[in-house]
Amino acid sequence: MSNVYHDPAEAPQPYKEPTPLPDDIPKVPEVGATSAPLKSAAFFIGDYCKEYNEDFMLCKAENRDPGHCLKEGRRVTRCAIDLISKMRENCGQVFQDHWQCLEKNNHEYYLCRQPERALNKCMFEKLGLTKTIPGTPPGKTPIHEVRNPIYTSVQR
């Protein structure tokens, strides 16, 4: 009886935090993008926020206590919020086209290459960010740049 599941959508009053963080910790808003825009922006977040993400992962590797990596976590959140705002401002329509295509195709990248090419072009021109897939073998073209892939939505 004491640990009942409450659906937050049916709460009669807003949640009152019983143990809020102390005031000396800076308040950073959470990222408000849902899964499809985040998946669309994923490689660009990796390019733009590389140092902060690596700092956070190294900090977590030292100690997985949630209180240990708050500062690095705040930096990661701020960087992601910054990039998503810039993407919406500069490449808003192409970005929206790509994540709407992903949403209709089970969030599979290989089914949305055309909007992805437009987004990559716009991101490179406006913000100088490129999508690189880490771990591609040195001689091969990355799968997102292959012009006639084997695996498409319709079997060849």
Question: Of 6 and 147, which has the nearer Cβ to other proteins?
Answer: 6
Q: How far is the CB of 147 from other proteins (least distance, A)?
A: 27
How far is residue 122's CA from residue 105's CA, in Å, rounded to a whole number? Answer: 22
Report if residue 130 touches other proteins, rule: CB under 8 A. Answer: no
Query: Hey, what's the torsion of the CAs at 121, 99, 78, 69, to 10 degrees?
Result: -110
Q: Judged by CB, which is closer to other proteins: 14, or 137?
A: 14
DSSP letter, residue 106: T
Q: Which stretch binds other proteins (CB under 8 A): 12-20, 55-63, 116-124, 140-148?
A: 12-20
- Sequence-distant (≥ 6) Cβ neighbours of residue 116 within 8 angstroms: 98, 109, 144
DSSP 8-state class, residue 49: T
Class of residue 18 by CB neighbours under 10 A (exposed 0-12, middle 13-18, buried 19+): exposed
Nearer to other proteins, 70 or 145 (CB): 70
> Minimum Å distance from CB 2 to other proteins?
5
* Cβ within 8 Å of residue 37, ≥6 positions away: 84, 95, 99
From residue 65 to residue 104, what is the string marking binding to other proteins with x (rule CB under 8 A)? ----------------xx-xx--x------xx--xx--xx
Q: Which residue ranges make up the site for other proteins (CB under 8 A)?
A: 1-9, 11, 14-15, 17-18, 29-38, 81-82, 84-85, 88, 95-96, 99-100, 103-107
